[in-house]
Amino acid sequence: QPDPFGFVGLTYDDVMLLPAHTDVIPSEADTTSRLTKRIRVFAPLISSAMDTVTESRMAIAMARQGGLGVLHRNLSIDDQAEQVDKVKRSESGMITNPVTTTPDATVAEVDELCGRFRVSGLPVVEGDGKLVGIITNRDMRFVSRFEAATTLVRDVMTPTPLITGPVGISQNEVVALFAQHKIEKLPLVDESGRLKGLITVKDFDKSEQYPNATKDDEGRLRVGAAIGFFGDAWDRAGQLRDAGVDVIVVDTANGDSRGVLEVIARLKGDPAFAHIDVIGGNVATRSGAQALVGAGADAVKVGVGPGSICTTRVVAGVGVPQVTAVYEASLAARTAGVPVIADGGLQYSGDIAKALVAGADTVMLGSLLAGTDESPGDLIFVNGKQFKSYRGMGSLGALQTRGTKTSYSRDRYFQADVPSDEQLIAEGIEGQVPYRGPVGSVVYQLLGGLRQSMFYTGARTVDELKVRGKFVRITAAGLKESHPHDIQMVVEAPNYRR
């Protein structure tokens, strides 16, 4: 046996980027990168498909900031598809399929729909889709709670003729109509008066507020969603597609396996999914990445064991330190033009640039986002400090079936066949992370850190960073020197925690 130990594996804390001559200042650095073969993102940041990280609120927030959220799959197909729908409807140039009501519905029903979809009013249509009115907060304000259940929409709505526009109306014309008529919703109708879409003033405001948002061709936020490879995975993919998902992530702990490669190949070969990009993972070697590329993946997700909540490397003794894993995977992916996602193990903003230089195009974050307002779950108070819970998808809690709740993520760890909860082998833990405020401010700090990296290395773009970035290996003493030392920290920095 020539060399049974192969090469050394390095991770974020083992390396540092060398400073280089620069004529770039941080504010000039362009952080735009490739998420998949077809989709670019302003912020190379993706939120993890975990049940304590990404549901619709997180996905909306991440897309607004210019990144992307991947909805977790530890929930029923219907629930996950509904979350896709929520993101796609949250803001858009034009809502092609608006939530509507009928003249014979009650005000109470309208109220419930408005609450569920977080909208302030609904177009009213008859059975054949013909627009007959609109009902908004203004129309319902004087209907008491007691009358709402018996008051019909037809009696309080603002009936046609309404100010409407044709399908294909230009942005300037829309703005002019909003201003001229002081309206907040513009229904779009065809020649025979059938409702074809809706434009709201709120969405125009959002476009100004979030100019870098990740959007599709129709101006809707983009969203990703995770599926497995086992059982109902194919049905899940179909329903997610029907709900408008942009990216499907075949999300497993070992992407270089037959079932996973087959699902990817099948999705990529099916014309019904031609408009959806497919991300495969996870792998941690060159050959693993090669296998995903060969199956047709539009991006390769890398990471076996680096996650802050992950115990795969101790339970199974398997994994590759993340910087080496990303580098090795990129050797196979780059020649094929397939972007790489560095998934897990990032602790500080500086790790983003390290991941990109190692060969990634974007990074996926769990723990750094789990403490934000937009992650699922409530605040936990411990000794006056605020936390949110965060758990691995391979933790017992996530794998177990509780009450009527089935665990859909067992197949992530290839344990879909395990007959009882007692026989599960966990590969993750459950815990809590410090509360970090809104996603917007966390992403701001992360992107800001990346811009500083680009300044120090003289890189104006992510592509330049990849070429110019050079590593130096460091020792334990070097790492100690890198962190604050010989001082007691008294003020917490927004981008630094020990």
Question: Judged by CB under 6 A, which of 11, 33, 100, 312 binds ligand RVP?
Answer: 312
Give, in degrees to the nearest 5, the angle at Cα 343 between 485 and 281: 160
Nearer to ligand RVP, 204 or 435 (CB): 435
Nearer to ligand RVP, 298 or 427 (CB): 427
> Rounded CA gap, 349 and 456, in Å?
14
By CB under 6 A, tell whether 365 contacts ligand RVP: yes
Alpha-helical regions (H) of 248-321:
258-269, 286-295, 312-315
By CB under 6 A, tell whether 67 contacts ligand RVP: no
Pairing of strands 158-159, 277-283: unpaired
By CB under 6 A, tell whether 375 contacts ligand RVP: no
Nearer to ligand RVP, 123 or 344 (CB): 344
Site for ligand RVP in 250-289 (CB under 6 A): 282
Residue 394 annotated as binding site:
yes
Residue 490 annotated as binding site:
no
**Which residues in 64-73 are b (16+ Cβ under 10 Å) and which e?**
bbbbbbbbbb
Token pair 């990216």 in the structure block, residue: 247
Nearer to ligand RVP, 46 or 107 (CB): 46
Name which of 361, 224, 377, 368 is nearest 309 in CA terms.
368
Question: Judged by CB under 6 A, which of 164, 252, 254, 308 binds ligand RVP?
Answer: 308
Residue 253 annotated as binding site:
yes
> Rounded CA gap, 421 and 424, in Å?
6
> Are 24 and 342 within 8 A, CB to CB?
no
Name which of 382, 331, 318 is nearest 360 in CA terms.
331
By CB under 6 A, tell whether 35 contacts ligand RVP: no
Nearer to ligand RVP, 345 or 350 (CB): 345
By CB under 6 A, tell whether 74 contacts ligand RVP: no
By CB under 6 A, tell whether 366 contacts ligand RVP: yes
Residue 427 annotated as binding site:
yes
Residue 367 annotated as binding site:
yes
Count residues binding ligand RVP (CB under 6 A).
Answer: 23
> Are 189 and 131 within 8 A, CB to CB?
yes
Residue 482 annotated as binding site:
yes
By CB under 6 A, tell whether 13 contacts ligand RVP: no
Nearer to ligand RVP, 189 or 363 (CB): 363
Spell out, one character per residue from 319 to 348, where the chain touches ligand RVP: x when CB under 6 A holds, - when not.
------------------------xxxx--
By CB under 6 A, tell whether 310 contacts ligand RVP: yes
Q: Point out the catalytic residue in the list 64, 73, 412, 451.
A: 412
> Rounded CA gap, 319 and 313, in Å?
6
Name which of 292, 353, 364, 276 is nearest 328 in CA terms.
292
Residue 392 annotated as binding site:
yes
- How far apart are CB 38 and ligand RVP at their closest, in Å? 22
Which of these segments, 111-119, 191-199, 306-314, 483-491, binds ligand RVP (CB under 6 A)? 306-314
> Are 300 and 249 within 8 A, CB to CB?
no
Q: What is the CB-side half-sphere exposure of residue 482 using CA atoms within 13 A?
A: 18
- How far apart are CB 272 and ligand RVP at their closest, in Å? 28
For helices 258-269 and 286-295, the axis angle rounded to 10 degrees is 30
By CB under 6 A, tell whether 48 contacts ligand RVP: yes
> Rounded CA gap, 29 and 34, in Å?
16
By CB under 6 A, tell whether 364 contacts ligand RVP: yes
By CB under 6 A, tell whether 44 contacts ligand RVP: no
By CB under 6 A, tell whether 228 contacts ligand RVP: no
Residue 308 annotated as binding site:
yes
Name which of 214, 208, 191, 216 is nearest 96 in CA terms.
216
> Distance between the two ends of the chain, CA-based, in angstroms?
43
Is 310 marked active-site?
A: yes
What phi and psi values does residue 218 have, to the nearest 5 degrees?
A: -95, 5
- How far apart are CB 263 and ligand RVP at their closest, in Å? 17
Token pair 């079932």 in the structure block, residue: 259
Give, in degrees to the nearest 5, the angle at Cα 429 between 381 and 484: 65
Q: How far is CA 295 from the centre of its chain?
A: 23
One-letter amino acid at 462 equals: V
> Rounded CA gap, 49 and 16, in Å?
28
Q: Point out the catalytic residue in the list 57, 236, 310, 436.
A: 310
Q: Which two tokens stand for residue 495?
A: 């981008």
Spell out, one character per residue from 376 to 415, where the chain touches ligand RVP: x when CB under 6 A holds, - when not.
----------------xxxx--------------------
Name which of 352, 362, 337, 414 is nearest 224 in CA terms.
362
By CB under 6 A, tell whether 300 contacts ligand RVP: no
Residues interacting with ligand RVP, by CB under 6 A? 48, 50, 282, 303, 307-310, 312, 343-346, 364-367, 392-395, 427-428
Which residues form the catalytic set? 310, 412
Per the annotation, binding residues for NAD(+) are 251-253, 303-305
Per the annotation, binding residues for IMP are 308, 343-345, 366-367, 390-394, 427
Per the annotation, binding residues are 251-253, 303-305, 307-308, 310, 343-345, 366-367, 390-394, 427, 481-483
